[in-house]
């Protein structure tokens, strides 16, 4: 059995373009929020913004968010708000 076939059997959802886009957007949004908080903390502590540190933090938090929060967004269930 090929490795991608085994992974497809273990994964309950099919990854299509819509789900991949949702994963990347959710992970990047989480990364931007984490970046804002890290930059604010560093600015408060040191009194200035270090652009190199902010750029590095932005890249790392976006990647970490895509890997951790992305799958949660892909398999998350939507709440039916029309039900009473």
Domains of the chain by residue range:
13-75
Show the DSSP H helices in 1-84 as ranges. 3-10, 17-46, 51-75
pLDDT in tens, 46-56: 999 888 989 99
Confidence of residue 6 (pLDDT cuts 50, 70, 90): low
How many residues appear in the chain?
84
Q: Which residue's structure tokens are 């990364």?
A: 31
Taking the model in full, what pTM does it have? 0.67
Using the 8-state DSSP alphabet, how is residue 13 labeled?
Answer: S
CB of 73 closer than 8 Å to CB of 22: yes
Of 42, 32, 19, residue with least CA distance to 64:
32
Summarize pLDDT for 10-42 with one digit per residue, the tens. Answer: 556 666 788 888 888 888 899 899 999 999 999
């Amino acid at each position: 059995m090929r490795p991608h076939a085994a992974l497809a059997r273990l994964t309950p959802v099919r990854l299509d373009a819509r789900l991949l886009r949702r994963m990347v957007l959710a992970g990047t949004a989480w990364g931007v929020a984490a970046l804002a908080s890290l930059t604010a903390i560093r600015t408060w502590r040191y009194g200035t913004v270090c652009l190199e540190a902010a750029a590095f933090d932005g890249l790392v938090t976006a990647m970490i968010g895509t890997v951790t929060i992305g799958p949660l967004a892909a398999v998350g269930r939507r709440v039916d708000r029309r039900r009473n």
